[in-house]
Amino acid sequence: MKLFQFILYVADQNRSTDFYRTLLDQEPLLEVPGMTEFELAPSLKLGIMPENGIAKIISEKVPHPANGNGIPRCEIYLVVDDLLPYYERAKQLNAILVSDISFRDWGHKACYFADPDGHIVAFAEELY
């Protein structure tokens, strides 16, 4: 495999692009109607795609993504050197705080938020 890309289906591409631009403190690599991409690491991208766009491809076989809005459908778990700046930006963006910064039994200090579409975003620091 050469590239890993995770794509979030969103109600409003512009709103979600602005949210992740601020949350991740970076500009997207690609921002065109129908797709936004952020590089999280070499060979790893986060995509933002309007749910109505993907529905044209998948709608005959599975429900429209809008039927799941507000329901956590995935988790983006990002291990960072310092989670505090991400935590503060998420709070400034009025992301829903799902679980405050805590020491987790798997060796991380982590916090969890929900983005505007209900996707869960976690920021973690390694403890060991």
Where do the domains of the chain lie?
Answer: 4-126
Q: Tens digits of per-residue pLDDT, 65-123?
A: 888 888 888 999 999 999 999 999 999 999 999 999 999 999 999 999 999 999 999 99
The closest of 69, 32, 76, 30 to 51, measured between CA atoms, is 69
What would the mean pLDDT of 39-56 be, rounded to a whole number? 94
Task: Look up the pTM and report it.
Answer: 0.92
Output the pLDDT for position 45: 97
Q: Give me the residues paired with residue 109 across strands.
A: 103, 125
CA 89, chain centre distance (Å): 14
User: Which CATH superfamily includes the segment(s) 4-126?
Assistant: 2,3-Dihydroxybiphenyl 1,2-Dioxygenase, domain 1 (3.10.180.10)
